[in-house]
Structure 1
Amino acid sequence: MNTRWWEPRLALRRFVADLVAGELAHLRRGALPVPQPWAEDLRLDEDLAVDSLELITLAAALAEALHLHESGIEDYLLARRTIGEWTDIAAAGLERFDARLTFRTSGSSGTPKPCPHAVATLQQETAHLATLFAGRRRVLCAVPSHHIYGFLLGVLLPRELGVAADAVVDLRASSPAWLARGAQPGDLVVAHPDFWTAVARAVPQLPAHVVGVSSTAPLAVDTARRLGESGLARLVQVYGASETGGIAWRRSHDDPYTLFPHWRLDADDARSLLRTLPDGAQQPFAPQDALQPVGERQFVLGARHDAAVQVGGINVFPERVRDVLRRHPGVEDVAVRLMRPEEGTRLKAFIVPRSGTAHDDALLADLRTWIERELTPPERPKALRLGPRLPVGPTGKPAEWDLQEGGLRPAA
């Protein structure tokens, strides 16, 4: 069944604006001059200072995401300059072809990967999600709609629930503390773990009957507990990937994940899942995490196969960050790790200076400049520590280090 998800113009404009903002932030490696949400008449060239090369990149990204090449309308993007005009072009293209969409992975390894999806397969997930969130009156969304999680939960799911496009509220322009006064009974809050952590800290009491959903990374047990104490009626955690959308869900850290109806564990391959497509075909998928089966349709998560960690809902590869830092002429060796839960949610780096390098403070200042230039925001270590050798344990294996010990130099 064709959803015509793009017919509420507000939903389509939000998708277009989120994609442009995401691409520009990646190109410029920083914040944009105009905060969202954006008006129809916002100009790419004047308000966002988009140059001709950036315009080509943005147009290509939108054409790829919406498959505008299927309608032959993508070249019109280069002749238009406002968000409203790009929304018009997107709507015209989708009127001709709207059966497939392409989302991209975060690209924190340096090479974002396109992940095409048939809209019919995305509907499989939202049809089941609608049974988990029946009766919701509004959807408060803290994730961008051009990412697959934001699209599924912030665009397709509201339609499935009968929630109007203007009842989808963008939380990104508000402090998480806004929920204490802005949320209403019956709301569904769609967010990522960092947002939920901020809510747990800033909101002592939520209105009754507010339900939440979290995805893109594991949620800390303490955060889930504090949210329950603040009155959150239920917090559903979704496990999935850009390549697949949602795979499974759970209501509590004490529960295993339960597969969506169109997924099942592969009895012949412990590292594989099988998806039943709308036409009945079976599609195998190898998840990035080890899955430990609990019965036929449930599992618990093991370690990641690719050594990635999650920062702000984005896959980050510490080994890549280490390689970038080791290229600095003042660095002999580096260890990079995700902070422990009590330390924070970002990366930290232990750095062994090269013999004869400048004073500690000068090296740290130069490293911060290097980090800002060479790494994306999620990849940037937020605590730097210098030492004569990398920390090792009694057996000689790499070891943790305490941020509070001498030699800590917090990154800016």
Structure 2
Amino acid sequence: MLLPQAADSRLPLLDLRGGSPAALAGLVQPGDLVVAHPDWWRQVAALGMALPSDVVGVTSTAPCPDAVAQALQDGGLRLVQVYGSSETAGVGWRDRAGEPYRLFSYWRAVGGEVLERARAGGTPERHGLQDRLEWFGEAAFLPAGRIDHAVQVGGMNVFPAYVGEVLALHPDVLACQVRLMRADEGVRLKAFVVPRPGADDAAGLRVALGEWIGKRLTPPERPTAFSFGPKLPRGPGGKLADWIIDAWD
């Protein structure tokens, strides 16, 4: 994070990464700027703490759930959500839950998912985005789903399809599906596994799969909940469907 310097003095900067979000209430002062990621803000919202007036929060690296942003807003915090990626940095911002993002002034849209960035004294740079965007005029938009089917886990891009392929390589797995957990289930990946005939010990298979992915996937990629059944969940039209973790062994 870069902060401007006022005259010859440096702005005071506190690093809260090693502490609990609960400590924020005793540290923050009117006029402060607090920069964090959505999961950290989710914990702050769950505490329901009262913050001083004129405090601004910034969240980026992953989408901030509207319910979290609204809870913080109801508590008096102005939360600025920044949309972007590691390739583009910040593209747009908003400070109201559910409202469209506004493009930063140095970006302009040149196609549905292509943006052009102005460079001082240089040739503009074009960048393709990882999300489909729904546009509201020339400078306001809402993300409308990933193009590359990645999801955010712990601030990292992970690919459920790839994780499913790794799980399917296990000799006791006949088929599997991997998805991001529902909001009421958690913030990690979950997997539904159809065991091969003869692999009837769900508890043993759960342990074996944990060891399997522990050697082949990074921590954000590893599902933290496994469900087992005779066939993958499907909707009325036959398409793969979501499932509730607690409804399956």
Q: TM-score, normalised by structure 1?
A: 0.58
1:350 to 192, 207, 227: 192
Other structure's SS at 1:291 match: strand
| CA deviation vs aligned residue, 1:82-141 (integer Å, no higher than 9, x gap) | xxxxxxxxxxxxxxxxxxxxxxxxxxxxxxxxxxxxxxxxxxxxxxxxxxxxxxxxxxxx
Shift of the alpha carbon at 1:165? Answer: 6.0
**How do 1:10-159 and structure 2 match up within 5 A?**
154=1, 156=2, 158-159=3-4
Hey, what's the Cα distance between the residues in 1 that align with 2:158 and 2:135?
26
Q: Is the 8 A contact 1:180 1:203 kept in 2?
A: no
AA at the equivalent of 2:206: L
Q: Which residue of 2 aligns with 1:9?
A: none
Shift of the alpha carbon at 1:284? Answer: 1.2
Q: Is the 8 A contact 1:318 1:336 kept in 2?
A: yes
Other structure's SS at 1:404 match: helix
| CA deviation vs aligned residue, 1:326-358 (integer Å, no higher than 9, x gap) | 111211111000111122111110011111225
Other structure's SS at 1:159 match: coil
Hey, what's the Cα distance between the residues in 2 that align with 1:331 and 1:264?
47
Runs of 4+ in 1 over 4 A off after TM superposition: 160-166
Q: Which residue of 1 aligns with 2:212?
A: 370
* Structure 2 unaligned residues grouped into runs of 5+: none
Q: TM-score, normalised by structure 2?
A: 0.94
AA at the equivalent of 1:194: D
AA at the equivalent of 2:120: P
Residue 184 of structure 1 pairs with residue 26 of structure 2:
no
Q: Which residue of 1 aligns with 2:147?
A: 305
Q: Which residue of 2 aligns with 1:315?
A: 157
Shift of the alpha carbon at 1:178? Answer: 0.8
Residue 211 of structure 1 pairs with residue 56 of structure 2:
yes
AA at the equivalent of 1:208: S
Shift of the alpha carbon at 1:256? Answer: 1.3
| CA deviation vs aligned residue, 1:294-344 (integer Å, no higher than 9, x gap) | 112222211111000111221111011111111112111110001111221
Identity percentage of aligned residues: 49
1:335 to 173, 177, 182: 177
Shift of the alpha carbon at 1:166? Answer: 7.2
Q: Which residue of 2 aligns with 1:70?
A: none
Closer, same or farther: CA 249–381 of 1 in aligned 2, 3 Å: same
Residue 402 of structure 1 pairs with residue 247 of structure 2:
no
AA at the equivalent of 1:391: P
Structure with greater strand percent: 2
Structure with greater helix percent: 1
Residue 259 of structure 1 pairs with residue 103 of structure 2:
yes
Shift of the alpha carbon at 1:406? Answer: 3.4
Residue 382 of structure 1 pairs with residue 227 of structure 2:
no
**How do 1:281-296 and structure 2 match up within 5 A?**
281-296=123-138
Shift of the alpha carbon at 1:365? Answer: 1.2
2:45 to 200, 203, 217: 200
| CA deviation vs aligned residue, 1:270-313 (integer Å, no higher than 9, x gap) | 23111111224211111111122211222221111100011122
Q: Is the 8 A contact 1:177 1:203 kept in 2?
A: no
Shift of the alpha carbon at 1:205? Answer: 1.4
Closer, same or farther: CA 162–306 of 1 in aligned 2, 3 Å: farther
| CA deviation vs aligned residue, 1:166-207 (integer Å, no higher than 9, x gap) | 722211100011111121211111111111111111242122
Residue 247 of structure 1 pairs with residue 91 of structure 2:
yes
Q: Is the 8 A contact 1:349 1:381 kept in 2?
A: yes
Hey, what's the Cα distance between the residues in 1 that align with 2:8 and 2:224?
40
1:361 to 203, 217, 221: 203
State the aligned residue count: 249
Shift of the alpha carbon at 1:360? Answer: 1.5
* Structure 1 unaligned residues grouped into runs of 5+: 1-153, 408-412
What do you get for the CA RMSD once the two structures are aligned?
1.8
